[in-house]
Amino acid sequence: MKKNFIDFNPFFFKIINLNYRLEFVFSNFNNNFVLSNSLSFEDIFLLKFFYFKKFKIKSFYINTGKIFINTINFLNKLYYNDILVYYPNFLLINNYINKFGLYSFYNNIILRKICCYIRKIEIYNKIIYKYNLLITGQRSNRKNKKYFLNFDKSRNIIKYNLLYDWDYKDIFYFFEKFNILLNFLYDFNYSSIGCSPCTKKIKKNNYIRRGRWWWEISKRKECGLHI
The question of whether 223 is a catalytic residue gets the answer: yes
Of 196, 188, 171, the C-alpha closest to 71 is: 196
Residues 6+ apart with CB under 8 A from 218: 109
Q: Are strands 149-152 and 157-161 parallel, antiparallel or unpaired?
A: antiparallel
Of 142, 132, 163, 125, the C-alpha closest to 11 is: 163
Q: Residue 110, class by beta-carbon neighbours within 10 Å (0-12 exposed, 13-18 middle, 19+ buried)?
A: exposed
Catalytic residue numbers, as ranges: 223
